[in-house]
Amino acid sequence: MTATIGTPDPGPGHPVTGLDEVVHQRARLGILTIAHEAHRVEFGYLRTHLELTAGNLSKHLSVLETAGLIEIQKGYEGRRGRTWITLTAAGATALADEIARLKQLIARVETTN
């Protein structure tokens, strides 16, 4: 669990405790967001818009695929190889949960302040 949001000693039930380490990482969150919005997205689009190197993006995709949050399909269009990423139902749920927890966290911080 990577609960380094900057809030002191989160107690039980605190939104930070529910953050998923796989999802709560800006690049991986970006991949899930784009895949959710686009229905399916090509490797090159992700690399350009998340400003990641191919190797770095591949590592993040591998983490998400292993967690069952995305599906990766490789194919060809003409001679050009293309890799398409699709969000799984578990991925959509994980993204929705993450966004809900972020909103809770913001609300909690604002209440504390």
- Catalog residues that contact other proteins under the rule CB under 8 A: 2-6, 21, 24-27, 29-30, 33-34, 36-45, 49-53, 56, 60, 99, 102-103, 105-106, 109
Determine the number of helices (DSSP H) and then strands (DSSP E) in the chain.
Answer: 4, 3
- Closer Cβ to other proteins, 51 or 62, answer by number: 51
CB of residue 20 to other proteins, shortest distance in Å: 11
- Cβ neighbours of 73 (radius 10 Å): 10
- Closer Cβ to other proteins, 6 or 11, answer by number: 6
CB of residue 72 to other proteins, shortest distance in Å: 14
- Closer Cβ to other proteins, 4 or 12, answer by number: 4
Measured CA angle at 108 (ends 107, 112), to 5 deg = 115
Supply φ then ψ for residue 77, to 5 degrees.
-120, 105
CB of residue 98 to other proteins, shortest distance in Å: 9
H/E segment holding residue 80: strand 80-87
